[in-house]
Amino acid sequence: MDLQTFPQFANLPPELVLNMSDFLDIATLAHLSQSSKQVHTLLHTTLQQAAREVALPSEEEYQSRIYTDISGLFQVSEANGTLDRPRERLAQVVVMGQYEAVKFLLDAGVDPNAHTIFGFRMLCLAVGDEAPENGFPIVDLLLEYGADPSLPNVQNSEWTPLGAAAYMGYDFLVQKLLRAGADVNAPGVIHTIVKFCRMETIQMAVSLGADLRQPLPATGETVLRWAMDSDYPEILPLMLKELPDLISTQNVLGQSLLWPALNLEDMDIITMLVDAGIDLNIQDDEGDTALHYAISLYLPQPALLFIERGINVGVRAHRGLTELHHAANTGLIEVVSPLLARGNVDINAQTNWLETPLHLAVEKGYSHIVRKLIACGADLSITDTDQRTPMDLAVFLGRRELWLLLYYHMPS
């Protein structure tokens, strides 16, 4: 509607204005309400009602999409995922950064803690979609109108506005939310802050009561694990200094920090952990030590470091595999002599299937390992559960070169 067509709109009888408002959309209503103070007052209630109707889905629409499963957790129904999208004007203007539109809806009484049909809270949407260079005005606006900075998304109780801001690496916003009273001890929040934020933000979180010692419920990981992945290299050494008693903590799989450090193939972190006194002899739920794991990943440098620093060797892990079995299985010849030099490593140790390291080297076709094991005194006559010697296995697999090598070293 063009207001210039109705220069005397404000002079119309109030009853007529209200009757006309029933046929106008909210954008036109908002436009008309700004034509004069009298019209604004007259349309205020109508505008509020209209705003609430378009700002959020109806209760019936929420119930058709979101349900509680048998464990009491909220879920978004996939079966109803093809339903027509309801009107979610508040979410739209939050995502688009339309400050005045958000303010208009909040002024109309729309709940700042409302969520979308898929369970996303408005504050989480604002955190994820606002450009940091703008200073997060929508976040400020939602907080001003009472948005709870600790309230998670409906379908993910571990995704809070604070966690989202930390994940994005927005230190300024994390600090803003902390000052607004966000729960820094919500599951996973401090871990995310440690991984993605600067030290000053971590220190602020600690000063406000963050518990650096809490493990992640699902994995058992401490903040030290997340500090290993920090974008800021100074974080891990500072965390190790602050939390020396947590360095040998194991996750739910029984693994220490050395396992993820090996996955990262970061020798600086591995050396840092060893120098800080991490327990090298920790075994995971499979019975593996970090040495087993390093050899299985074909990482000679950390494997040799562990041996040099006195890690237990000759340890039988899952399926009866020793470190020497892993070396034979991966072809990592660099560790064979250092392992055998320790004196308590059985070169003929057998797995649960009675395989020796020599059996595994033949199976993989690693002639350099076969030669090394023979030179170190491996017994060529031991049979596995199939009653095969290493030479029998070479015949079975068609490895003529290895068969000849074993044949020429058979005792006469």
* 115 three-class SS: strand
Measured between alpha carbons, how far is 118 from 125 in angstroms, rounded to an integer?
A: 12
pLDDT digits (tens, 9 = 90+) for 245-263: 999 999 999 999 999 999 9
- Is the sign of the CA dihedral 141, 143, 145, 148 positive or negative? positive
The answer, yes or no, to whether residue 24 has pLDDT greater than 80, is: no
pLDDT digits (tens, 9 = 90+) for 153-202: 987 778 899 999 999 999 999 999 999 999 999 999 999 999 999 999 99
pLDDT tier, 14 (very low <50, low <70, confident <90, very high otherwise): low
Residue-level pLDDT at 80 = 47
3-state SS of the chain: helix, strand, coil percent to 5? 55, 0, 45
Q: Which two tokens mark 223?
A: 């903040």
Measured between alpha carbons, how far is 243 from 253 in angstroms, rounded to an integer?
A: 21
State the amino acid at position 55 in one-letter form.
A
Q: Which structural domains are found in the chain, ordered by start?
A: 148-246 (1.25.40.20)
- What is the Rg, in whole angstroms, of the alpha carbon atoms belonging to the chain? 33
Region of 12 (left: φ > 0; alpha: ψ -120 to 50; beta: rest) is: beta
- Whether the full predicted model's pTM is greater than 0.85, yes or no, is no
Measured between alpha carbons, how far is 74 from 26 in angstroms, rounded to an integer?
A: 32
- Residue 371 exposed, middle or buried by CB count within 10 Å (0-12, 13-18, 19+): middle
Per the DSSP assignment, residues forming a β-bridge with 74 are 68
State the amino acid at position 105 in one-letter form.
L
Q: Which two tokens mark 212?
A: 């650096």
* 246 three-class SS: helix
Number of H helices and E strands in the chain, helices first, is 24, 2
Q: Are 283 and 254 in contact (CB under 8 A)?
A: yes
Q: Give the Cβ contact number of residue 327 at 10 Å.
A: 29
Mean pLDDT is lowest, of 24-28, 342-346, 352-356, 393-397, for 24-28
pLDDT digits (tens, 9 = 90+) for 301-329: 999 999 999 999 999 999 999 999 999 99
Which DSSP symbol is given to 156?
B
**Length of the chain in residues, anyone?**
412
Residue-level pLDDT at 177 = 97
Give me the residue label for tokens 């571990």. 158
How big is the CA angle at 157 (ends 151 and 160), to the nearest 5 degrees?
45
Per the DSSP assignment, residues forming a β-bridge with 75 are 67
Give me the residue label for tokens 């464990």. 71
Measured between alpha carbons, how far is 303 from 356 in angstroms, rounded to an integer?
A: 21
114: Cβ–Cβ under 8 A, 6 or more apart, which residues?
Answer: 55, 56, 90, 121, 122
* 68 three-class SS: strand
